[in-house]
Structure 1
Amino acid sequence: MYDLTGFQRDLLYVIAGLDEPHGLAIKDELEDYYEKEIHHGRLYPNLDTLVEKGLVEKGQRDRRTNYYTLTRRGQREIDARQEWESQYVDI
C-alpha cells in the first residue's frame, strides 16, 4: 500500500466499509470526509488504478452503474496498514 496516494487509500477504506458501493456512493462518502467536491475526473481514474493493481474488483449492476469490492489482496493491504499504524498510534 506504500505506493498508493492518500486519496487511493481513502478509496480503499470507503469501499471496505460499504456493501458493493457504486461510484457515486463512494464519491458522496469522500465529499463528506474531505468537505469539498470530488470531481469525476479524479475519482474514476483512481478507482481504475486500484482495479489495475488488483486491490479492487469492478462489477456491473446495469449498463450505467458499476460497483466496487475489495479483493482479498486489498483486504490484506488494509490489514497490514492497520497493523503498521498501530505500532505508532495507540488506538
Structure 2
Amino acid sequence: MYDLTGFQRDLLYVTANEDEPHGLALKDELEEYYEKQIHHGRLYPNLDTLVDKGLLEKGELDKRTNYYQVTQRGHREIEARREWEDQYVSPEV
C-alpha cells in the first residue's frame, strides 16, 4: 500500500465500507470528505489502478454501471496499513 497515493488509499477505504458500490457512490462519498468536486477523470483512472494492483475487483451492474469491491488482498493491505499507523498514532487519553 506504500505505493498508493493518499487519494487511492481513501478510495480503497471508502470502497471497503460499502457493499459493492458503483463509481458515482464512491465519488459522492469522497466529495463529502474532500469538500470539493471529484472529476470522473480523476476517479475512474484511480479505480482502475486499484483494480490493476489487485486491491479491488470490478464487476458489471448493467451495461453502463460497474461496481467495485475490495479483494482479500485489499483487506490484508488495509489491515497492515492500520497496524503500521497504530505504531505512530496513539489514541487520545
How does the TM-score come out when normalised to structure 2? Answer: 0.96
Residue of structure 2 equivalent to 1:69? 69
% identical equivalent positions: 78
Deviation at 1:11, TM superposition (A): 0.4
Aligned partner of residue 63 in structure 1, secondary structure: coil
In 1, Cα distance between equivalents of 2:58 and 2:11: 13
User: Which residue of structure 2 aligns with residue 56 of structure 1?
Assistant: 56
Counterpart residue number, 2:21? 21
Greater Rg by CA: 2
Whole-Å Cα distance in 1 between the matches of residues 16 and 90 of structure 2? 22
Q: Give SS of 1:68's match.
A: strand
SS of the counterpart of 1:3? coil
Partner residue in 2 for 1:9:
9
- Once residues 54 and 16 of structure 2 are traced to their aligned partners in structure 1, the CA distance between those partners, rounded to angstroms, is 14
Equivalent residues, number: 91
List structure 1 segments (4+ residues) > 2 angstroms apart after TM superposition. Answer: none
Amino acid at match of 1:14: V
| Distance in structure 2 (CA, Å) of the matches to 1:65 and 1:41 | 16
Structure 1 position 19, deviation (Å): 0.7
Structure 1: stretches of 5+ with no match in the other structure: none
CA apart distance, 1:80: 0.2
RMSD between aligned residues: 0.5
Quote the offset at 1:12 in angstroms.
0.3
1:90 Cα deviation after fit: 1.4
- Aligned amino acid, residue 60 of structure 2: Q
- 2:30 corresponds to: 30
TM-score, normalising length from structure 1? Answer: 0.99
